[in-house]
Chain A
């Protein structure tokens, strides 16, 4: 009976999760942003040519226009693009499904660890309604896949299949860079906590798949471009910090003092920055009130990364886990919780970076669930269990409704700039066939437009691989135009200051102009079209102001 009830509740939780992750997936967030488009176009390139769009065959680490990226998400998205074609839904759907899988995995993991169906249900429910997880399951962020792999690896490990668990754990290195630090620590913790019987003499062959998988990425991390990204964002490369040390040591009242080096040096400064980041990761401001200050990573409106009502349960849960720290499961969750912000804390601004801190989520959720169960057990003598459940679900549902209202009715529109709104509407109607032998100029100053154009206009990756020579802006690439060229007649950049479009364009040429760049103020050329042009289409922002205007010279 109890099992049946739990199954029904779990199915309901899954249905809620599916709804929260799939409902209007292509509209909320309002459009694909640059990194998602990059994932989409790489995936399309991989599935259609077997190469990334820069031409590398089945790459172990993927080269994008601006940086090298971990490739696994692109490979995961590729079949969806192959089946559904390049579109918003085909890029986001696999991530949303992974998000739903995370809920399943966390359910089974917590059930296995704590031997409690009730706790597992609460854990999955808390993850299902957590804004942090909902949001990162609705856009093509790599960390959702990372979480799937970490949860799978941990579940497989604690179930005793230690060697098989190495496969998902190794794959995390191909997913997101925080795994390079967190995954080895997690595996070490799992090993030290569970002390599996491993006989190196007889079991060495079982390490082989994991070891083999490690080799290519190890090369890219240690010697190749994978380390470049970390070098760019780490606290150790923060020039501002070095400048602070120099300034402090050379202030007029201390200049020349040898003691200054003892107090103002790189190790102490890095330690301070690291500690600040680390503690900020646990701050109520980040977790419960305002979330990541980057508006693309959290939705504002007083919503943090987690519902506010989790806060007391999280605190109680951590205390309870400390109390029961002699148990393996408590130790694992505590270690997960306190080790997970390490990688992010080593990066600039990593203290409240929801993406880099995403690996905290399972531990935070399980700790909150432990806290809830602890409180429920305390109160169960006085209040009936089902009553507690009803109160909890009611509060949760009120939260979910208000969160989703903020998400779909306010955040969606307020965050248009963060999600690069307008490019899909502008480019999806365009193709090189419509341009013919004329030139197509695309403004590249509002945001880099190349990938957005390629993806939304469905520019074949194979053609791009053949034609692409570089995206560096060249001054006076052609007379009166700065930018770069793709193929023979596609230009990205902007006309030079003082040059009029009328003088620049030839008859039949198309120019995609950005408002306030080529078109001044809030002029709407679809209403007051200059006599030399026709306006095939115009894209408006959510406030009804022109954003991009497709201009054709008569």
Chain B
């Protein structure tokens, strides 16, 4: 295939992916999670005045939800940047996850190309973008998807090191892991395992004979990697004293029992959950589709078997995949695949390898059309359900999205030069969602009002109450909110 054709296809694929990941971005899911709202709220504050909701100036970890939850710096600041450029809104809040998904896609395609050639890179991209967990998390402005690009960078750098023997790649891989550590809370249970396995990999792949010189060279290479990740680890004691509980929460290194240690680990490899049931929570799973599409299971299994027969890097990928959730017993993470989005790159690479293996086998040309048909049915079925049914089925599990009503209040206040108010009980009931939209759409003060309070002349109040003495409706209601004014 000509280079121009390949590039054209790649660009078309990338553009389609942008549409695919951002389609019905604010309607699916129909509502927000408390994490989304709190990230949005703090990102707005950071983008405006560089403080989080608890008043900390440029905090490493913003403290959110009334002091209950530390958010990760990478999510908070990347969202703040997006808000600064495009303005705050739910769409732009979730756009951050879409961007992360697209960056990950690019990196997956690149590694796929390095490992499996042009065909493999397209397959990797296709499998990545059609993975249910990726689509679902590109529609959630949460931290879960954040570690994926760092995971990819780490793997790419390691691969490029093994190919080009340039030590800088090890340094970059160390930095990637270090950044990954602060991209998502769950990574604190994964990065230590990956660090150890990376050091072992670097050491073993660079040692051919057990003599002093080779050992020293291997150590030198390990040192490059360690130098990359070291600053991110060295800062932990300081973080522990300044952001108490932000790094490890209350997780102790000692599990309660062997069972509580091993159960979360093994549950991470339950094929029925990975390919059919998905995550155990309604925010991260439809409950009827797995983390991965069921039709990709044969590809994945074939890839796993084939990986054992390929080069050291594939074996490294396989072992890393198997040890990734080793410390999940520390956080009691049973069937919580939303914490394991870093599985996706491994799944994609193994499945692509599996598909190529099947295609090259004797029965490949016979099986492939069947698998393709099953894949298409499976994929279309999932996307239809996710886009059009899941929002209504799971609506009760999400906080109501009242963006339109806040926007309208801001618009009325601006156009008619009125002072905006919100009924305090309604606002408090909305919790983080209300705070987010208040910060997003009301650069000046949004007043609080309750029945019986006297409004200043020239005010508009947003309330779920249909009518109030001496106040008139001045616009059509939105999301059950009425706009009452004393003009």
Interface residues of A (CB under 8 A from B): 248, 251, 253-254, 259, 263, 268, 272, 275-276, 279-280, 282-285, 288-289, 302, 308, 311, 319, 322-323, 351
Contact = CB atoms under 8 A, between A and B. Distances in A.
B266 A288 contact: yes
Interface of A is mostly: helix
Nearest to A304: B266
B384 to A, nearest CB: 6
Contact of B276 (A248, A276, A285, A322): A276
A425 B377 CA distance: 59
Contact of B259 (A253, A259, A302): A302
Contact of B262 (A263, A280, A308, A319): A308
B165 interface: no
B272 A311 contact: no
Contact of B389 (A251, A282, A285, A322): A251
Interface string B286-297: 001000001001
B384 A283 contact: no
Given A284-B266, A319-B305, A279 B389 contact: no
Nearest to A260: B384
Given A253-B389, A289-B259, A322-B305, A275 B270 contact: no
A279 B271 contact: yes
Contacts of B272: 276, 279-280, 282-283, 351
A285 B305 contact: no
Given A263-B381, A263-B384, 12 more contacts: A253-B392, A268-B381, A272-B276, A275-B275, A276-B272, A283-B272, A284-B266, A285-B267, A289-B259, A289-B263, A302-B257, A323-B309
B295 to A, nearest CB: 10
Nearest to B271: A279
Contacts, number: 64
Nearest to A319: B308
Closest 4 CB pairs of A and B: A284-B266, A279-B272, A302-B259, A280-B272
Contacts of A280: 270, 272
Given A253-B389, A283-B271, A311 B266 contact: yes
A275 B308 contact: no
Nearest to A248: B389
B269 interface: yes
Interface string B280-308: 00000000100000100100000001001
A289 B294 contact: no
A259 B381 CA distance: 10
Contact of A285 (B257, B270, B294, B308): B270
A516 B385 CA distance: 49
B273 A283 contact: yes
Interface of B is mostly: helix
B388 interface: yes
A106 B272 CA distance: 29
B137 interface: no
25 contacts: A248-B389, A251-B392, A253-B388, A253-B392, A263-B380, A263-B381, A268-B381, A276-B272, A279-B270, A279-B271, A279-B272, A279-B275, A279-B276, A280-B270, A283-B272, A283-B273, A284-B269, A285-B263, A285-B266, A285-B270, A289-B266, A289-B267, A302-B259, A319-B305, A323-B308
A269 to B, nearest CB: 10
Contacts of A254: 388-389
* Highest count of chain A CB atoms <10 Å: which of B271, B309, B380: B271
Contacts of B385: 263
A331 to B, nearest CB: 14
A322 B380 CA distance: 33
A338 to B, nearest CB: 10
B336 interface: no
B94 interface: no
Interface string B381-416: 100110011001000000000000000000000000
Interface string B251-279: 00000010100110011011111011100
Nearest to A276: B276
B388 A284 contact: no
Contact of B270 (A284, A302, A308): A284
A289 B294 CA distance: 24
Contacts of A248: 389
A276 B262 contact: no
A263 to B, nearest CB: 5
B392 A275 contact: no
A381 to B, nearest CB: 14
A275 B288 CA distance: 12
Interface in B146-170: none
B291 to A, nearest CB: 13
Contacts of A279: 270-272, 275-276, 297
A283 B270 contact: yes
A275 B389 contact: no
B197 to A, nearest CB: 16
Contacts of B273: 283
Contacts of A259: 384
Contacts of B388: 253-254
Contacts of B392: 251, 253
A283 B266 CA distance: 8
A254 B105 CA distance: 32
Contacts of A263: 377, 380-381, 384-385
B287 to A, nearest CB: 12
* Highest count of chain B CB atoms <10 Å: which of A253, A263, A276, A351: A276
A334 to B, nearest CB: 11
Nearest to A264: B381
Interface string B232-254: 00000000000000000000000
A253 B262 CA distance: 43
A323 B380 CA distance: 35
A288 B392 CA distance: 37
A276 B277 contact: yes
Contacts of A251: 389, 392
Contacts of A308: 262
B436 to A, nearest CB: 28
Nearest to B385: A263
A279 B270 CA distance: 8
Contacts of B381: 263, 268
A284 B267 CA distance: 6
A263 B388 CA distance: 13
Nearest to A278: B272
A275 B294 contact: yes
Contacts of B288: 272
Contacts of A311: 266
Contacts of B380: 263
A254 B266 CA distance: 39
Contacts of A288: 266
Nearest to A283: B270
A450 B267 CA distance: 43
A69 to B, nearest CB: 30
Contacts of A268: 377, 381
Nearest to B380: A263
Contacts of A351: 272
